[in-house]
């Protein structure tokens, strides 16, 4: 170790960047050489001085604000990235896209069907002569609409013109608060007419939040008694729960469900709902009936237990 090498490495010594063997040599050298010892002290003092200047620390507020802004930026970037990636993938890498489609037979089939339907529609439009017809009579959306039914066909005896009166279904969507009368009307409609039980469950679940309205409560009661889907009936029960005490009509409907529903889950839930009004004579007689002849062990024992908890009024 010489003084020149010492000077070159002294800062590495101060910042703990030297391997043990060189460190040992330097310490030995500093003990022997007063100038290098001074250099070492000076370097150590430098580190101490700079360390006396406290590093600026980000405040919790700054960190929180930065995180919040980043979150917003990430959300924007995510949306943009999703679309960009999709478009890029589709436009620039159709082979890979098709390769992926190969592994999703349902999607591939759906695309095929849509393609076929699109082709048929296009061909139909091309072949149909642009005479005064569907487009003029309707509102120009016949291509998008499904025909619900033909009401009548008449032909002009003097020409070859035919007039067809038909109904069509137009896909639409509505958005709004559940308190909006139009939305409520749609929900009520969906609750009892829709073929799809999933839609019925959803609409009944939403409507159950506003059972304070007579019309909605009626729809819930109808769903509980008539709907084929036990999920819908359970959802209706949930909505009616808080009215079992105050509304005798609701209570009777729940009793009906307890006695006649085919689903044990619905019957069990009805037992729970009727607990606060178990002293009611109608409810009591329903429990008596079930305790004597019900084929479900649990419901029978629950009915017995409920009756046992009631004071003897005879």
Partner 1 sequence: MSVMENVVGAISSPADTSPVRGTMVSQALRRVDDNVLIREAQRGNRAAFEELVRQYDHAVLRLALRLTASEQDAQDIYQEAFLKAYRNLVSFRFECSFYTWIYRIVTNLCLDHLRKKNVRKEEAPVTTMQDGTELSLIDQVADDRSHSNPERDLMRRELGHKIGLALNRLTPRERMVFELKHYQGLKLRTIGEMLSTTEETAKNTLFRATQKLRGALSEMR
> Which CB, 54 or 181, lies closer to partner 1?
54
140 lies in the binding site for partner 1 (CB under 8 A): no
Residue 7: CB minimum distance to partner 1, A: 10
Q: Can you tell me which of 12, 101, 183, 190 binds partner 1, judged by CB under 8 A?
A: 12
15 lies in the binding site for partner 1 (CB under 8 A): yes
Residue 48: CB minimum distance to partner 1, A: 11
301 lies in the binding site for partner 1 (CB under 8 A): no
Displacement of CA 284 from its chain's centroid (Å): 41
Residue 55: CB minimum distance to partner 1, A: 5
> Which CB, 89 or 292, lies closer to partner 1?
89
47 lies in the binding site for partner 1 (CB under 8 A): yes
> Which region among 43-51, 207-215, 229-237, 240-248 touches partner 1 (by CB under 8 A)?
43-51
Distance CA 241, CA 221 (A): 11
CB 235, CB 204: distance < 8 Å = yes
Residues 55-94 that bind partner 1 (CB under 8 A): 55-58, 62-63, 65-67, 69-71, 73-74, 77-78, 81
> Which CB, 67 or 292, lies closer to partner 1?
67
Instruction: Report the interface residues with partner 1, using CB under 8 A.
Output: 8, 11-12, 15, 17, 42-43, 46-47, 49-58, 62-63, 65-67, 69-71, 73-74, 77-78, 81
């Amino acid at each position: 170790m010489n003084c020149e090498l010492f000077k070159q490495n002294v800062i590495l010594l101060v910042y703990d960047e030297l391997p043990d063997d060189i460190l040992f040599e330097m310490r030995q050298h500093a003990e022997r050489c007063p100038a290098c010892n001074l250099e070492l002290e000076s370097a150590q003092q430098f580190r101490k001085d700079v360390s006396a200047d406290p590093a600026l620390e980000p405040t919790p507020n700054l960190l929180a604000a930065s995180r919040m802004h980043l979150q917003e930026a990430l959300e924007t970037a995510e949306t943009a990235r999703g679309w960009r990636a999709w478009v890029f993938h589709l436009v620039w890498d159709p082979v890979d896209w098709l390769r992926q489609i190969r592994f999703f037979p349902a999607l591939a089939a759906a695309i095929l069907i849509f393609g076929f339907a699109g082709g048929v529609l296009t061909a139909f439009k091309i072949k149909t002569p642009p005479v005064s017809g569907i487009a003029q009579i309707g509102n120009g959306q016949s291509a998008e609409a499904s025909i619900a039914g033909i009401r009548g066909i008449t032909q002009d005896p003097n020409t070859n013109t035919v007039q067809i009166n038909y109904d069509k279904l137009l896909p639409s969507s509505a958005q709004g608060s559940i308190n909006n009368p139009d939305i409520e009307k749609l929900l009520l409609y969906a609750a009892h007419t829709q073929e799809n039980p999933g839609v019925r469950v959803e609409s009944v679940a939403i409507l159950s939040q506003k059972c304070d309205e007579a019309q909605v409560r009626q729809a819930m009661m109808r769903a509980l008694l008539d709907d084929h889907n036990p999920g819908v009936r359970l959802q209706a029960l949930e909505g009616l729960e808080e009215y079992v005490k105050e509304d005798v009509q609701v209570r009777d409907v729940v009793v009906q469900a307890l006695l006649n529903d085919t689903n044990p889950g619905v019957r069990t839930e009805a037992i729970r709902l009727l607990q606060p009004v178990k002293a009611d004579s109608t409810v009591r007689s329903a429990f008596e009936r079930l305790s004597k002849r019900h084929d479900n062990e649990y419901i029978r024992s629950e009915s017995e237990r409920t009756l046992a908890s009631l004071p003897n009024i005879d």
